Chain A
Amino acid sequence: GIQVEQSPPDLILQEGANSTLRCNFSDSVNNLQWFHQNPWGQLINLFYIPSGTKQNGRLSATTVATERYSLLYISSSQTTDSGVYFCAVQQGAQKLVFGQGTRLTINP
């Protein structure tokens, strides 16, 4: 099956810093989503981005489908950005396959 790899596994930053999270996938996909899981376990949709670039406030994402990777950018980090960021991909019409996540810690 398709493989999804996220990097880095852990990232510790000071408030105000910028960060880039990467997601590589091993085959073509029709759906790619980025999620933020907060410390209470809630999985929040950030982007639906099978290709192209999208921006939402301090967050933006780019997916280069032909090269099978996606990037999530977080600018001017805040402590509330802490948590685990997941990339998930879908082939066809069934399951999302998740990466192992990047654990982001933003220190005040």
Chain B
Amino acid sequence: ETGVTQSPTHLIKTRGQQVTLRCSSQSGHNTVSWYQQALGQGPQFIFQYYREEENGRGNFPPRFSGLQFPNYSSELNVNALELDDSALYLCASSLYPTQPQHFGDGTRLSIL
């Protein structure tokens, strides 16, 4: 059984650029959630996708967007990067939205 995989593992960008992070869900899972974890904090919910539709969104601006593909993999896009976007971005998949979430190893994004 393949777990949740994220790419890339590390990324360095400058202010104003755009970035795309990718996530492959665990086999059989149709729900993907994205979280942002700033240094020293717990993860914060960005949004969730269930069967290719957005199924809830946290308190993040519209420049954070995403999508889910028919194979249930997902992308997180962030436009107009700001210094405060520097964080660990975690993707989690679950069998259904109410089921336990399993996390990937994250993408560490640094904004210069």
Say whether B72 faces chain A, with CB atoms less than 8 Å apart.
no
Say whether A41 faces chain B, with CB atoms less than 8 Å apart.
yes
Q: Mark B74-109, 1 if CB is under 8 A from A, else 0.
A: 000000000000001010100011111111011010
Give the docked Cα–Cα distance between A92 and B31 (Å). Answer: 14
Contact yes or no, A41 B88, CB < 8 A: yes
Given contacts A30-B98, A93-B55, contact A42 B106 (CB under 8 A): yes
Main secondary structure of the interface of B (DSSP, over half): strand
Contact yes or no, A90 B98, CB < 8 A: yes
Contact yes or no, B90 A43, CB < 8 A: yes
Say whether B56 faces chain A, with CB atoms less than 8 Å apart.
yes
Q: How far is the CB of B48 from chain A (nearest CB, A)?
A: 6
Given contacts A42-B106, A43-B90, contact A96 B45 (CB under 8 A): yes
Contact yes or no, A93 B97, CB < 8 A: yes
Say whether B2 faces chain A, with CB atoms less than 8 Å apart.
no
Residues of chain A lying within 8 A (CB to CB) of residue B44:
98
Q: Mark A20-57, 1 if CB is under 8 A from B, else 0.
A: 00000000001101010000111101001000000000
Say whether B8 faces chain A, with CB atoms less than 8 Å apart.
no
Give the docked Cα–Cα distance between A92 and B50 (Å). Answer: 14
Say whether A74 faces chain B, with CB atoms less than 8 Å apart.
no
Give the docked Cα–Cα distance between A89 and B50 (Å). Answer: 19
Q: A93-B50, A93-B98, A96-B33 are in contact. List 18 more A-B contacts (CB 8 A).
A: A30-B98, A31-B98, A31-B99, A31-B100, A41-B37, A42-B103, A43-B90, A43-B103, A86-B42, A88-B42, A90-B98, A94-B48, A94-B56, A96-B35, A96-B92, A98-B42, A98-B43, A101-B42
Q: What is B's interface to A at a CB cutoff of 8 Å?
A: 33, 35, 37, 41-45, 48, 50, 55-56, 58, 88, 90, 92, 96-103, 105-106, 108
> 17 pairs across A/B with beta carbons < 8 Å?
A31-B100, A33-B101, A41-B88, A41-B105, A42-B106, A45-B100, A86-B42, A86-B43, A88-B42, A88-B43, A90-B98, A93-B55, A93-B96, A94-B33, A94-B45, A95-B56, A96-B101
